[in-house]
Structure 1
Amino acid sequence: MTSTQQLTGERADLLQTLRRHRGFLLQTVDGLTDEQAAARPTVSALCLGGLVKHVANVEHRWMLFATGGAEAMEREPIDWVGQFQMAPGETLAGLVDRFQQVAGETDELIATLDLDTSHPLPQAPWFEPGASWTVRRVMLHLIAETSQHAGHADILRESIDGSRTMG
């Protein structure tokens, strides 16, 4: 039994909620071919594989922030366009494996990090200048981000084959 399975209280609640929304996203892409995962069946530029890739990247970057602040987060470059697309040679299975790897790393970190640890946010137009976030706030952000994209994924999946995860 890992340390995350023994958690109680706030940490357990945060992780259980994040895991639930991760599960919705993974359930939505279950059984798709790589071609279906790369398809853009709506007017949106989003595809299902790209959403899995993006959510994994976002979670990974926020855990870098949680452990080392904005400087750690910004050390890894981000492809603002490509993160939402499946690149040539990427497979849905590979993207799901990466997603699960990142999820496991996050779960282990949240089992040990002080939720009150706070870091100044990176400078970006979407953040309040000079604001800081605690690890707790990062977790709440990851829950919201994952939930939002699971909803996007549900719409895309329904457009591809009529399957609905969340409705």
Structure 2
Amino acid sequence: MTETTHTTATATATATDERADLLEALAKQRYFLRFTTRDLTDEQAGQRTTASELCLGGLIKHVTSAERNWVDFILNGPSPTDDFTAMTEADYARRADEFRMLPGETLEGVLAEYEEVARRTDELVAALPDLNAAHPLPKAPWFEADARWSARRTLLHIIAETAQHAGHADIIRESLDGAKSMG
């Protein structure tokens, strides 16, 4: 085996291992988030149990939307609608609907949509030519001006956000009926 062949084989194995690690970490956090909704009715999934506005179904809707939007960012960069500095009150009201179960929504439907977004993300991670490909972040007060995120960094953000909301969901579920997901 030549040095070049060995280096290429090693780089390919490393990239594959990295993608597997990213997907495994994301799958684990998705599992914990979904697990908090086990055996719940639609009404329970929409119930607020803490001082916050959050409910279990709403958290899953939010994580679904966030993951979908970040995958779109990986593929296309920021869209004009991602300029958070230009959002109106109506825009914020629409975004607030991500955090609650709306009339006619079901837990089954929310979970099915999350599963579809997860499938799309997993396919992208497996097929993405370069995890280093980067785009400028959308304009938002919480992002550093002129910052760029690679696909890798964006996937790490999706994992972190999913984990954070899985923790929120665990607290909400324990407040709802005493059931615990983690611990």
Structure 2 length-normalised TM: 0.84
User: Is the CA contact (8 Å cut-off) linking 2:82 and 2:139 kept in structure 1?
Assistant: no
Q: 1:148 aligns with which of 164, 168, 171?
A: 164
CA RMSD of superposed structures (Å): 1.6
Runs of 4+ off more than 3 Å? 72-75
Q: 2:111 aligns with which of 96, 104, 108?
A: 96
Q: 2:173 aligns with which of 151, 157, 167?
A: 157
Larger radius of gyration: 2
Alignment gaps of 5+ in structure 1: 1-6
Q: Deviations over 1:101-131 (max 9, x none)?
A: 0000000001111100000001110110000
SS where residue 138 of structure 2 aligns? coil
Q: 2:98 aligns with which of 60, 80, 83?
A: 83
Find the aligned partners of 1:105 and 1:46 in 2 and give their Cα distance.
26
Q: Deviations over 1:83-103 (max 9, x none)?
A: 101111000000000000000
Identical residues among aligned pairs (%): 54
SS where residue 95 of structure 2 aligns? coil
Q: 2:44 aligns with which of 9, 21, 36?
A: 36
Q: Using a 3 Å threshold, how does the CA distance of structure 1 residues 72 and 61 change in structure 2: closer, same or farther?
A: farther
User: Is the CA contact (8 Å cut-off) linking 1:61 and 1:73 kept in structure 2?
Assistant: no
SS where residue 27 of structure 2 aligns? helix
Alignment gaps of 5+ in structure 2: 1-14, 84-90
Find the aligned partners of 2:111 and 2:81 in 1 and give their Cα distance.
22
Find the aligned partners of 1:8 and 1:55 in 2 and give their Cα distance.
26
Matched, 1:57 2:65: yes
Aligned residue in 1 for 2:24: 16
Aligned residue in 2 for 1:4: none
- Tell me how far 1:71 sits from its aligned partner: 1.9
Aligned residue in 2 for 1:123: 139
- Tell me how far 1:80 sits from its aligned partner: 2.2
SS where residue 45 of structure 1 aligns? coil
User: Is the CA contact (8 Å cut-off) linking 1:62 and 1:73 kept in structure 2?
Assistant: no
Find the aligned partners of 1:111 and 1:73 in 2 and give their Cα distance.
27
